[in-house]
């Protein structure tokens, strides 16, 4: 372990605000720089476009060298899919995040399915098609419901769970005819429907060794009662009681170890964060719904509050192949996050909403997502604006603390779900 680490963090959402908050608490930190960040970050650590170019390998590498960066932490999936970790590798700078090859586990649903097949990981059965006619003719012979997925990155909008053939047809038309997802819709993955309860598990890995954070449960639909359109996530809590110790063991043996082994066998060890999206069947069997190549948002905002270890050390160990396979020390507590979103999210979120953000007290922490400073005023820039988090011995108190904070606010043109955590209560 280096004595003091200079870190560059890429990203500007609630996830990155939470990661930065943990990194800033580390006694192993020399300096943290962030691009692009948001209004929640201390101003002195933010970089602007004139200072760093994240779209050009030469300029990016030159920045790493001239600033003596010891570790790059990549928050979102896009830079990883485009090869930012490979740039770092070529520049000789450790990166927390997988190579472009490994990031295909999120960047291509077809690739992910093939890897799962090679590793014999439990998941839904599937078929892949490159054109409308063959996909449609296949679907008509299957029993419903069916899940239709655009192959590539689609900001969480490329998946349709179809209970009727008309919905299947519409989803295929969106992919192949109107080409709503551009090149991400060059292929479609059709999956059988998995029944059960979902959970997200974050696995830190150096390619060979791994350590799991407590499982979380996300709330993907926009409105109370799991109604409305799918979003990036409107709230989460952790630990998720559905992932019992026995199910956790099953996930490690049947999913994590085989998939990491499959990447090693390909000659591309997977390092960074492996996000395992799970469906736990009523019989207690864990199936993979999806893998992502980065921390989840908003789950990270609550999961990291449970960690009783130095996050920066773990990120550095993952990036430098020094992690130990072991249980992480976590707090005996329950944490949660409630997302405040702009009116119109996810389709057409209103932007530029002025925000007066009350100072949180007690165990409440507020992470910023789509915010920026306009002179002295904080305004919204995106769909998800803030993540209100808290932590306590029991989920009811945790939720009360989040909602008591929100009751003190007077945000215009925004909304949040009032039922985060209700299922576990
Ligand atoms: P994905 O982006 O693949 O995680 O899909 C988005 C959401 O669609 C998931 O969080 C699930 O709620 C749902 N989903 C995806 N695949 C399946 C499946 N095979 N069975 C049931 N639901 C699914
Ligand atoms: N909250 C879901 C995700 O980060 O993909």
Based on its alpha-carbon atoms, the radius of gyration of the chain, rounded to whole angstroms, reads 21
Helix (H) or strand (E) holding 253: none
Please tell me the predicted confidence (pLDDT) of residue 4: 95
Q: Is residue 222 part of a domain?
A: no
Q: Say whether the peptide bond before residue 298 is cis (omega within 30 degrees of 0).
A: yes
179 within domain boundaries: yes
368-403 tens-digit pLDDT? 999 999 999 999 998 999 999 999 999 999 999 999
CA distance 365 to 24: 15
69 Cβ closer than 6 Å to some ligand 1 atom: no
Residue 43's pLDDT band, with cuts at 50, 70 and 90, is: confident
Q: Which residue has the tokens 């992480």?
A: 328
Q: Are residues 92 and 11 in the same domain?
A: yes
Q: Are 99 and 83 in contact (CB under 8 A)?
A: yes
Do 48 and 87 have their domain in common?
A: yes
User: What is the 8-class DSSP label of residue 308?
Assistant: -
113 CA → ligand 1 middle, Å: 13
13 pocket-lining for ligand 2 (C-beta < 6 Å): no
Residue range(s) defining the domain that contains residue 154: 125-192
Number of domains in the chain: 2
Joined tokens for residue 230: 């799918």
Ligand 2 contact, 292 CB (< 6 A): yes
Query: Is residue 76 assigned to a domain?
Result: yes
Beta carbons of 212 and 276 less than 8 angstroms apart: no
Tell whether ligand 2 has an atom less than 6 A from the beta carbon of residue 75: no
Q: What is the pairing mode between strands 159-162 and 146-150? A: antiparallel
Q: How far lies 83's CA from each of 79, 169, 338, in Å?
A: 6, 34, 32
Q: Does 146 or 425 have the greater pLDDT score?
A: 146
3-class secondary structure, 141 = coil
Report yes or no on 61 lying in a domain.
Answer: yes
The maximal CA–CA distance of the chain, rounded, in angstroms, is 61
Pair (89, 20) in one structural domain: yes
Is 289 inside a domain boundary?
Answer: no
State the CATH number of the domain containing residue 11.
Answer: 3.40.50.20
Co-location of 51 and 91 in the same domain = yes
How far, in Å, is the centroid of ligand 1 from the Cα of 178? 22
Measured in Å, residue 235 CA sits from the centre of ligand 2 at 10
Alpha carbon 166 to its chain's center: 31
Q: Which atom of ligand 2 is nearest to the CA of 299?
A: 1
Measured distance CA(312)–CA(303) in Å, rounded: 15
Q: Which ligand approaches the C-alpha of residue 233 most closely?
A: 2
- Digit-coded pLDDT (tens) for 231-245: 999 999 999 999 999
What's 180's domain CATH number? 3.30.1490.20
Q: Cα–Cα distance between 323 and 206 in angstroms, integer?
A: 6
Q: What is the pLDDT of residue 201?
A: 98
**For the chain, percent of residues with pLDDT exceeding 90:** 96
| C-beta separation of 156 from 188 below 8 A | no
Q: What is the pTM of this model?
A: 0.97
Asked whether 288 lines ligand 1 (CB < 6 A), one says no
290 lines ligand 2 (CB under 6 A): no
- pLDDT higher than 90, residue 64: yes
pLDDT at residue 270 is higher than 90? yes
Decide: 161 in ligand 1 pocket, CB within 6 A. Answer: yes
Dump pLDDT digits (tens) for 154-164: 987 899 999 99
> Buried b vs exposed e over 163-177: b needs ≥16 C-beta within 10 Å?
eeeebbbebbebbbe
Same domain membership, residue 146 and residue 88 = no
The answer to the question of residue 137 being in a domain is yes
Distance 325 CA to ligand 1 centre (A): 29
Domain boundary among 192, 212, 238: 192
Question: Rounded to an integer, what distance in angstroms lies between the CA atom of residue 211 and that of residue 97?
Answer: 15
Q: Is the CB of 70 under 6 A from ligand 2?
A: no
Give the pLDDT of residue 284. Answer: 96
Residue 124 in this model has a pLDDT that exceeds 90: yes
Choose among 109, 6, 12, 105: nearest CA to 65: 6
CB of residue 218 inside a 6 A radius of ligand 2: yes
Judging by DSSP bridges, how do beta strands 146-150 and 188-192 pair with one another? Answer: antiparallel
User: Which of 284, 306, 274 lies closest to 105, judged by CA?
Assistant: 274
Q: Whose CA is nearest to atom 4 of ligand 2?
A: 296
Phi, psi of 25 (to 5 degrees): -80, -10
Q: How many CA atoms lie within 13 A of 105 on its CB side?
A: 31
Ligand 2 atom 3: residue of nearest CA:
296
Residues 81 and 67 sit within 8 Å (Cβ to Cβ): no
Answer yes or no: is the C-beta of 77 below 6 A from any ligand 2 atom.
Answer: no
Would the pLDDT of 214 be above 90? yes
How much is the pLDDT for 1? 66
407 within domain boundaries: no
Helix boundaries (H) for 245-335: 245-251, 257-265, 299-303, 311-319
Compute the average pLDDT of residues 156-175: 94
Domain assignment of residue 329, yes or no: no
pLDDT at 181 over 80: yes
């Amino acid at each position: 372990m280096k004595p003091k680490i200079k870190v560059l963090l890429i990203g500007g959402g609630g996830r990155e605000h939470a990661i930065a908050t943990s990194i800033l608490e580390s006694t192993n930190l020399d300096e943290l720089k962030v691009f692009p960040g948001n209004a929640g970050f201390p101003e002195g650590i933010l970089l602007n476009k004139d200072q760093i170019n994240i779209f050009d390998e030469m300029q990016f590498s030159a920045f790493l060298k001239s600033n003596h960066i010891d570790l790059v932490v990549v928050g979102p999936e896009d830079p990883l899919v485009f090869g930012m970790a490979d740039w770092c590798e070529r520049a000789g700078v450790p990166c927390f995040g997988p190579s472009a090859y490994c990031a295909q586990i999120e960047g291509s649903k077809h690739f992910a399915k093939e890897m799962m097949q090679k590793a014999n990981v439990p998941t839904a059965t599937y078929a892949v098609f490159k054109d409308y006619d063959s996909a449609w003719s296949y679907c008509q012979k299957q029993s419903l419901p069916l899940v239709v997925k655009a192959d590539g990155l689609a900001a969480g909008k490329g998946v349709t769970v179809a209970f009727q053939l008309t919905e299947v047809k519409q989803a295929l038309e969106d992919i192949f005819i109107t080409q709503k997802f551009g090149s991400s819709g060059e292929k479609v993955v059709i999956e059988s429907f998995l029944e059960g309860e979902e959970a997200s598990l974050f696995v830190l890995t150096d390619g060979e060794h791994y350590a799991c954070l407590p499982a979380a449960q996300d709330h993907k639909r926009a409105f109370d009662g799991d109604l409305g359109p799918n979003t990036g996530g409107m709230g989460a809590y952790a630990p998720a009681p559905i992932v019992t110790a026995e199910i956790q063991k099953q996930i490690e043996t049947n999913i994590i170890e085989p998939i990491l082994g499959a990447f090693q066998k390909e000659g591309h060890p997977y390092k960074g964060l492996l996000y395992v999206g799970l469906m736990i069947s009523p019989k207690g069997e864990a199936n993979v719904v999806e893998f992502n190549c980065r921390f989840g948002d908003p789950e990270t905002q609550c999961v990291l509050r449970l960690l009783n270890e130095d996050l920066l050390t773990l990120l550095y160990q993952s990036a430098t192949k020094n992690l130990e396979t072991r249980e992480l020390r976590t707090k005996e507590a329950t944490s949660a996050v409630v997302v405040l979103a702009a009116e119109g999210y996810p389709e057409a979120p209103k932007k530029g909403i002025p925000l007066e953000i009350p100072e949180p007290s007690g165990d409440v922490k507020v992470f910023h997502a789509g915010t920026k400073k306009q002179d002295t005023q904080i305004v919204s820039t995106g769909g998800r604006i803030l993540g209100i988090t808290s932590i306590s011995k029991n989920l009811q108190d945790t939720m009360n603390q989040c909602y008591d904070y929100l009751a003190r606010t007077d945000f215009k043109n925004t909304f949040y779900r009032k039922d985060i955590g209700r299922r576990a209560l």
